[in-house]
Amino acid sequence: MTERQKDRPWLMRTYAGHSTAEASNELYRRNLAKGQTGLSVAFDLPTQTGYDPDHVLARGEVGRVGVPVSHLGDMRRLFQDIPLDQMNTSMTINATAMWLLALYQVVAEEQGADPGKLQGTTQNDIVKEYLSRGTHVFPPGPSLRLTTDMITYTVNRIPKWNPINICSYHLQEAGATPVQEIAYAMSTAIAVLDAVRDSGQVPEERFGDVVARISFFVNAGVRFIEEMCKMRAFGRIWDQVTRERYGIENPKQRRFRYGVQVNSLGLTEAQPENNVQRIVLEMLAVTLSKDARARAVQLPAWNEALGLPRPWDQQWSLRIQQVLAHESDLLEYEDIFAGSHVVEAKVDDLVTESLAEIDRIQQMGGAMAAVESGYLKSELVSSHAVRRARIEGGEEKIVGVNIYETTEPNPLTADLDTAIMTVDPENEARVVAALHEWRDNRDESRATESLTALKKAAAGTENMMEATVECARAGVTTGEWAWALRDVFGEFRAPTGVSSAPVAVAAEAGTPLAAVREKVARTAGDLGVGRLRLLVGKPGLDGHSNGAEQIAVRARDAGFEVVYQGIRLTPEQITDAALAEDVHCVGLSILSGSHAELVPDVLHRLRDAGAPDIPVIAGGIIPQADARALIEAGVAAVFTPKDFGITEIIGRIVDEIRKANKLDPLEVPA
């Protein structure tokens, strides 16, 4: 038998960054030495949302879920001793993508690299930020212009760079069905390509170069067959759209190019060792099929539902990829699913349904119009509510969560405090001090002039990328760049989708929700009020609002009057709203790790305002030690991913309201 030459493996990445540029640089160099073939940079939330570390909204968030990059000096340290002309770097950055790419380009030039040789990707899909992840800054129109300017700049100046990563990844985590994933991502791509075409910045004969640099970032869930077929459907629709709508004749330019991260929010806190087999199965969905194989893969760590993974945990995930690529015979064969009637039938169904949904969105005026109207967000909140109801009802089974829950003691989590990595709470003060030192030592007049030029470009029609690169060279900070554009464009608060979401869980007699509705009604009667009022708050910069939205929807269906103002609120704003609305409970949702600072702040403000009896509930990715500390500080209850029963959580909230108001417990099962 003649041995067939193996295909080249996909790019292997680990999504990483924390604390400081120096600490992240050390982590990157260690991962590269272990065989990682590309970098994937996680930026902290202040960097992603255009705030400097000393801004009030950045408090508690600095260095938590990624690396803080405030200026050129930080970017230099982040990539010190890493030759950028030899790297393929992915940067998860959206609203501030233009700014981070400018910093990256300047650092590469300082290293002596030719920008024309730089390879990598900026995520830069603002639509999914409005829908699921919440790191948007500017309104849809200006955001699309920033993306357009970046694309046209890179096509001419950094031609090997992918200036945008259209993301369906976060849509799945927000509840999207495969059809919604495909349709919403494709509608975003159409909006972006239409904007670039209509800008007139790229000659018609070079539009194929634009299409060829559009990449996608997708989610691989645990439903293996469906996920693999989804990727084949994605490729078929992209080929059709680029050929028919944009007239791209070169099949290489029409190729569907995507990277993948497997489903992080699908990982469980309960029996977290099961996450390893979930990760492997999800990776196979995007690697086994050669005709729809990912160009780059990054895997989460088994313990991400518990907290920040350690370097060893990230190494384990990297080794999963390496074993598949180098030990198995996967890369020696043509597509092993070609000709399967089961696969072809499923792909045909996905293509048909997705094209119908794309047409529906186009009839609304396209993706941006569907964002502004609230249609896309409402559909996702509804889909997510339906899925959560299936899990709670046992129809959708999750091992270790709602089936096979008994377990032996887990040696991996015997000491939870050492099973994850923690960020030094003093780190933020050091980062802020370094920021002030940078500002003190820069050429202030040059920084001011560059910001003035940026605002002039933004107010006019010229491409903003050149002015942004000059801001980077002049020592401007992330917050200053973003505030200059806020002054011109304003800010945007995306629709929450909660008020228009339909009822997803039945409340017929004898159901758990009916029992909770009775508890809510009786408690309201005991307090002499028409309805119980619950404030659901998202303090800080954490934009992952899926959990908060589902709590809000279920509480509404249980009879609560719900106050939910969306993401990105200060503890002061949340406290003011709680007092103004005279709520009976405050529920705070935080997944970014800032709970230790922001939740006690809300407690203190309520006490100072004379409302110490309003119970405060906290939910999110909160380690056990932190949960104990929050309870000791006065939090009434803490819920983490293991508490998957939303109806039960609502029942617990009613119990805490009764306890706070010195009412006897109700003997109504919840």
Catalytic residues: 15, 169-170, 538, 542, 544
According to DSSP, residue 43 is labeled: B
Helix, strand and coil content of the chain, in percent to the nearest 5, comes to 50, 10, 40
- Residue 317 corresponds to which tokens in the numbers above? 């995930």
Rg of the chain over Cα atoms, rounded to whole angstroms, equals 25
- 3-class state of residue 53 by DSSP: coil
Rounding to the nearest 10 degrees, give the CA dihedral for residues 561, 563, 564, 565: 150
- Residue 458 corresponds to which tokens in the numbers above? 């933004």
Strand order in the sheet with 296-298: 11-13, 296-298, 258-262, 214-220, 164-167
Task: Say which residues have a Cβ less than 8 Å from residue 457's Cβ, sequence separation at least 6.
Answer: 463, 464, 466, 467
Strands 39-42 vs 15-16: parallel, antiparallel or unpaired = parallel
Write the DSSP string, 114-148.
-GGG-EEEE---HHHIIIII----S-HHHHHHHHH
- 3-class state of residue 441 by DSSP: helix
Task: Let me know: does 234 contact 96? Beta carbons within 8 Å.
Answer: no
Q: How far apart are CA 209 and CA 307, in angstroms?
A: 41
Q: How far apart are CA 374 and CA 393, in angstroms?
A: 28
Q: How far apart are CA 573 and CA 56, in angstroms?
A: 12
